[in-house]
Amino acid sequence: MAITYNSQSRIFKLDTDHTTYLMGLTSEGYLGHIYYGPRMEHEAGTAPFRLPEFPSPSMLRREKIAFLAGFPFEYPTAGVGDYRESCLDVVGKDGAPGVELFFDSCSIEDGKPALEGLPASFAGDETAVKTLKIVLKDPVLGLRVTLLYSVFPAEDVITRSVLLENESPDALHVRRVLSMGMDMDNRDFEMMGLFGCWARERHPERISLHHGKQVLSSQRGVSSPQESPFMAILTPEATQTQGEVYGMSLVYSGNFEACADVSMYDSVRLVMGINPENFDWLLTPGSTFTAPEVVMTYSGSGLDRMTLSFHHFFRDHLIRNPYRGKLRPVLINNWEGTTFHFDEEKLYQIAKDAHGFGMDMFVMDDGWFGLRNDDDHGLGDWEVNENKLHGGLDALVRRVKALGMKFGIWIEPEMVNEDSDLYRAHPDWAIRLNGRDPSRGRNQLVLDVSRKEVRDHIMDQILKVFHGTSIDYVKWDMNRYLSDLESSSLPADRQGELSHRFVLGVYAMQQRLLDEMPGLLFENCSSGGARFDAGMLFYSPQIWTSDDTDAIERLKIQEGTAMVFPITTMGAHVSLCPNDQVGRTTPFETRANVALAGTFGYELVLSDLPDDERALIRKQIEHYHQFHMLNEEGDYYRLNSWSGDRLYDCWMVASPDKKEALVTYVQVLGRPNWRSTAIRLKGLDPDQLYTIRLVSGSVKKGPQHSSADQDMDKLFQTECRGDELMNIGLYIPALKDFESLLIHVYA
């Protein structure tokens, strides 16, 4: 049984294939955390409660605060004497804070419930997934709290969420409602997060925990590139292949908090959920509030196992798009070639040139609507500009499709320029503080899509355009964070709801798009990777990873992203050099080898390429067609990190049946008189005989390389057993800066 409850011992036991999660109740009905780790076949006791040391109130009423300071709460609350980070803070009718929860009931059900208005995982096979509902109540507030735990055995994943219901006759103010809490003894844990900024998203960073609170968070209205809604807690010896790792990912696309709080008793409290900063939700009598989902996994064998669990789970239980598990089109985008300045003939010529190289889809970027000739005007006016597209959008789409290509389009539905017909008609539809000059970003304001009339107006316009032709792909962008938080439609005592209501509005808009265009290939984007989170994956099978397309910068960005998310969710393209973001020049093959890990496409002007690079495009597209499904379904392994030793980066993907693998090696920094490097592969069958074939290499053969490099093709046309490749390694010849190899290993 995946979930059991022993009514005598009052112990809850949740089992996946390789892990166990234990909770228990005190005599008063406090719910405490007991254990999370390697699978246990037998039920444990409540020793972690330490009741002999910190007696519960029924045992020692005079020292309740001492009990609250040491008890390992499963879902901690604020205001009654536990001074550690809390998950729930509610103000009652008298204005006083304080919540105390006691067990009421529980149930175990087949399958996985949806979460109203929120993205959430699904069971697939309803009989394979079980859900535990634990109902806790605060009898003073009249508050009902339901903790949801869903167990996915094969993926070693447990999901958690919380449902609040006001059963009292009075309104309650919820000032904090996080989705999960967990208390453990500290074992010299370290925290890993994904940090960065625009064009430098999701760089892994690992720090030792210290007493006090270590917080990852966003207050930008998006999950943000600065700090990602992911947290891992690791033992000090943890590496890719060994040590204990607790991974948590929030299925949410707005403000979040993830915190590790080390107490005076050297316990660690982990919490994750909606950021309580500027959050205040009015819970009226009879109403409910649903908190977003947290995905948790435990690995006893390092980061690789955590990554595989997340990848399998997100692929099979979160991504719903029909392109999941299918080959996606290789695209060309017009932005680099035209910016805002184009007409239908110029766009058609770009598409025609791309078709000649074997590309599958043309994407029309910004500038096709309203009076959008620069980024100061037109956002919000989603009508085709027929001064640019003579004959309308449908005429261009039909011409492109006559080539045998698909057609895609860019939109930014959440934004408005003040110089637009929409803003002139409805200035109150923008989020801004009354009486203050707004803080602009890219000369844009954010529309208040928490309001249904705003959502409907925008989506009615966009879908009218889309339904008037045949659109295959939509890129949904969002280029400005939220600030100046005031909604003209909310009363004063509900302004604290705006940020969360905004996110719910975005989800509603994207769901409507998918409902009306169910076969659509949909890609999310937010100033690059500012909204690369599990919540967005529920709506789109791919997300633009970063506006930084430099292949070397992308190594760290894609490493951190792939630590949590399947690699084919990463929008990754080949761009021109010198690179626009950093000015670096890298070999054309390296740019393609790095981008092949993701969705693959081109962000460049084909006519600007030299002949030798143009000649490589067809071969690169062939490589994508050959290996995309291996990347889509295979197991990803990190073999080396440039961020670790600053010499080379290397990863591989092995097929589930262990019949083939694809290895990508990038030499970031070469060394003179250096020797070959042994790369130990993973995920192979030790007894299988494999052929090693060089697919693509950016090595320039000649006097600058050793004699071994002169015969690169011969070197890789060899056969090895899996145990040799995993224990002795695959030897990579010495390469120069930015050179790379793509290596196919197959039985």
CA atoms within 13 A on the CB side of 284: 2
How long, in residues, is the chain? 747
SS3 annotation, 480-499: CCCCCCCCCCCCHHHHHHHH
Active-site choice (89, 316, 381, 477): 477
Residue with tokens 């801004």: 432
CA distance 717 to 712: 9
Give the 3-state secondary structure percentages of the chain, helix then strand then coil, rounded to 5.
25, 30, 45
Burial class (CB in 10 A: 0-12, 13-18, 19+), 215: middle
CA distance 639 to 669: 17
CA distance 276 to 255: 8
Active-site choice (15, 366, 547, 649): 547
pLDDT over 70 for what percent of the chain? 97
Q: Which of 449, 152, 164, 433 is nearest to 315 (CA)?
A: 152
User: CB of 636 within 8 A of CB of 315?
Assistant: no
pLDDT digits (tens, 9 = 90+) for 535-576: 999 999 999 999 999 999 999 999 999 999 999 999 999 999
Task: Tell whether the model's pLDDT for residue 707 goes beyond 50.
Answer: no
Query: What sign has the CA pseudo-torsion 125, 127, 130, 131?
Result: positive
Mean residue pLDDT of the chain comes to 95
User: CB of 623 within 8 A of CB of 596?
Assistant: yes
CB neighbour list of residue 440: distance below 8 Å, 6 or more residues apart: none
Residue 706: what pLDDT?
45
What are the backbone angles phi and psi of residue 293, rounded to the nearest 5°? Answer: -90, 145
pLDDT class for 708, splitting at 50, 70, 90? Answer: very low
pLDDT class for 703, splitting at 50, 70, 90? Answer: very low
Preceding omega of 578 cis (within 30 degrees of 0)? yes
What are the backbone angles phi and psi of residue 356, rounded to the nearest 5°? Answer: -65, -20
CA distance 203 to 556: 6
Question: Between the CA of residue 684 and those of 16, 52, 495, 696, what are the distances in Å?
Answer: 24, 50, 55, 21
CA atoms within 13 A on the CB side of 248: 30
Residue with tokens 């991974």: 247
CA distance 15 to 249: 19
Catalytic residue list contains 547: yes
pLDDT digits (tens, 9 = 90+) for 602-656: 999 998 999 999 999 999 999 999 999 999 999 999 999 988 767 999 999 999 9
Residue 725: what pLDDT?
97
CB neighbour list of residue 178: distance below 8 Å, 6 or more residues apart: 86, 87, 88, 162, 257, 271, 272, 273, 274, 276, 291
CA distance 19 to 41: 10
Q: Which of 319, 338, 339 is nearest to 328 (CA)?
A: 319
SS3 annotation, 425-466: HCHHHECCCCCCCCCCECCEEEECCCCHHHHHHHHHHHHHHH
Question: Between the CA of residue 156 and those of 416, 628, 682, what are the distances in Å?
Answer: 43, 26, 20
* DSSP for residue 567: G
Residue 644: what pLDDT?
74
CA 694, distance to chain mean position in Å, is 32
pLDDT digits (tens, 9 = 90+) for 295-317: 999 999 999 999 999 999 999 99
Is 622 strand, coil or helix? helix
Residue 674: what pLDDT?
80
What are the backbone angles phi and psi of residue 391, rounded to the nearest 5°? Answer: 90, -5
Which amino acid, 279? F
CA 254, distance to chain mean position in Å, is 12
Which amino acid, 706? S
Residue 673: what pLDDT?
75
Residue 709: what pLDDT?
47
Query: What sign has the CA pseudo-torsion 323, 324, 326, 328?
Result: positive
CA distance 68 to 57: 9
What are the backbone angles phi and psi of residue 539, rounded to the nearest 5°? Answer: -105, -35
User: CB of 457 within 8 A of CB of 381?
Assistant: no
Report the range of poorest mean pLDDT among 50-59, 139-148, 261-270, 446-455. 50-59
Q: Does an H or E element contain 274, and which?
A: strand 267-274
Residue 462: what pLDDT?
98
pLDDT class for 702, splitting at 50, 70, 90? Answer: very low
pLDDT class for 699, splitting at 50, 70, 90? Answer: low
pLDDT class for 712, splitting at 50, 70, 90? Answer: low
Catalytic residue list contains 477: yes
CA distance 511 to 250: 19
Q: Does an H or E element contain 403, and which?
A: none
Q: Which of 231, 217, 373, 240 is nearest to 301 (CA)?
A: 240
SS3 annotation, 195-220: ECCCCCCCEEEEEECCCEEEEEEECC
pLDDT class for 125, splitting at 50, 70, 90? Answer: confident
CA distance 667 to 167: 62
Residue 58: what pLDDT?
85
pLDDT digits (tens, 9 = 90+) for 382-439: 999 999 999 999 999 999 999 999 999 999 999 999 999 999 999 999 999 999 999 9
Which amino acid, 429? W
Q: Does an H or E element contain 257, and which?
A: strand 256-262
Q: Six-digit token pair at 350?
A: 């770009």
Question: Between the CA of residue 437 and those of 84, 274, 447, 478, 491, what are the distances in Å?
Answer: 39, 28, 16, 22, 21
CA distance 126 to 344: 50
pLDDT digits (tens, 9 = 90+) for 190-224: 999 999 999 999 999 999 999 999 999 999 999 99
- Summarize the confidence of residues 172-191 as an average pLDDT: 97
Domains, the chain, ordered by start: 3-317 (2.70.98.60), 331-634 (3.20.20.70), 637-746 (2.60.40.1180)
Residue 705: what pLDDT?
47
Residue with tokens 């009990």: 67
Residue 711: what pLDDT?
54
623-639 as b/e: b if 16+ CB within 10 A: bbeebbebbbebbbbbb
User: CB of 207 within 8 A of CB of 214?
Assistant: yes
Report the Cα–Cα distance between both ends of the chain, in Å, rounded.
Answer: 38
Burial class (CB in 10 A: 0-12, 13-18, 19+), 404: exposed
Residue 714: what pLDDT?
60
Q: Which of 546, 549, 557, 553 is nearest to 579 (CA)?
A: 549
Which amino acid, 189? F
pLDDT over 90 for what percent of the chain? 90
